[in-house]
Amino acid sequence: MSTEENVKITQEELNNSSEIIRKLWNYYGNKIVGQKSLGLSLIISVIANGHILLESVPGLAKTTAAKVITDAVSGKFSRIQCTPDLLPSDIIGTQTFNYAQNSFETKLGPVYANFVLLDEINRSSAKTQSAMLEAMQEHQTSIGGTIYKMPEVFIVIATQNPIEQEGTYLLSEAQLDRFLIKEKIDYPSIDEELEVLNRIENDAFSKNEPILQLSDVTFLQKVAKKVYIDNSIKRYIVEIINATRNTDKILPKELAKYVTMGSSSRGAIAFMECSKALALIRGRAYVIPEDVKSLCYNILRHRIELNYAAVADNISVEIIIDAIMGAIKTP
């Protein structure tokens, strides 16, 4: 890449981006206690215009956080509660017959929004899960042969319970790969939970006026695309992704035996787009290797498939990711 191409983001654009991100962070912090990792992942997904999968037990503010981000940017919000009897038409919409006009009418489903919360996605059947694939990947759906485009800002925030819970279904590899990042959420600390009680008592969670507009989101997305990433860092990303597919050549045998499938090329794309978003959040117009390293769990934990032996031996995917990152030379 030439020197002229390196300087794409003006100082004014960088300053405006930093101000928008600061406002978004402050709004999130005023509404959500702790959960900074969740907030960072949500803001990255907003800037990269990608989908995010959140995993935790119920009641840890996943839904609240999704609604807070939507409120902050004046977006349209839809919530879909996934259940085993949920049908694809309940999500994307259907055609109904109007007897008065003797014609069919299209009723669009709740998926046509800026932020779509798929609550407990792994409680819905595989057929219903697949109904989201076209919307998530192509940003469009088809009803009765007519194509309906999604909004310019379209982000699916899906939540799932740990798979060992009763009444849950495994998400397919194709479905998982559509999510830009996956975030795992832990229980709050004692002090954080005490603060939650105090804020509820003081009615601090009541809805405030939005501080941003969707145009601010599209501005961030356009600026993020211009963040510079050197070819050496692109190669670093590709080497990481390639290592997930060839763990027998990279990792010790005692770890490589647990991996059955590595990341697709979407993993490399996700690394690049999220690294650019993270660089912008950190006030830079260029990506550094530490941005890539910071995102390794978010990008890879749902793209590396482990076998049953890993479960039996209590080997988590994070252990495999750490080993892969340690084996690849940092540029």
What would the DSSP string read from start to end of 181-218? EEEE-PPPPHHHHHHHHHHHHTTTTS----S--HHHHH
Average the pLDDT over 266-294 and give the result: 94
- Say which residue, 8 or 1, is predicted with more confidence: 8
Of 16, 13, 62, 330, nearest to 185 by C-alpha is 62
Report pLDDT for 278: 95
The pLDDT of residue 263 is above 60: yes
Of 182, 312, 325, 299, nearest to 247 by C-alpha is 325
Could you read off the pLDDT of 129-154 as tens digits, one per residue? 777 777 888 888 877 777 888 888 88
The pLDDT of residue 1 is above 70: no
Question: How many residues in the chain?
Answer: 331
Report pLDDT for 143: 77
- Say which residue, 43 or 56, is predicted with more confidence: 43
Q: Are 117 and 155 in contact (CB under 8 A)?
A: no
Taking the model in full, what pTM does it have? 0.85
Helices 231-245 and 317-327 meet at what angle, rounded to 10?
130
pLDDT band at 321 (very low <50, low <70, confident <90, very high): very high
Rounded CA separation 237/267 (Å) = 9
Domains of the chain: 12-225 (3.40.50.300), 227-331 (1.10.8.80)
Secondary structure percentages of the chain, helix, strand, coil, to 5 = 50, 15, 35
Average pLDDT of the residues of the chain: 84
CB atoms within 10 A of CB 15: 11
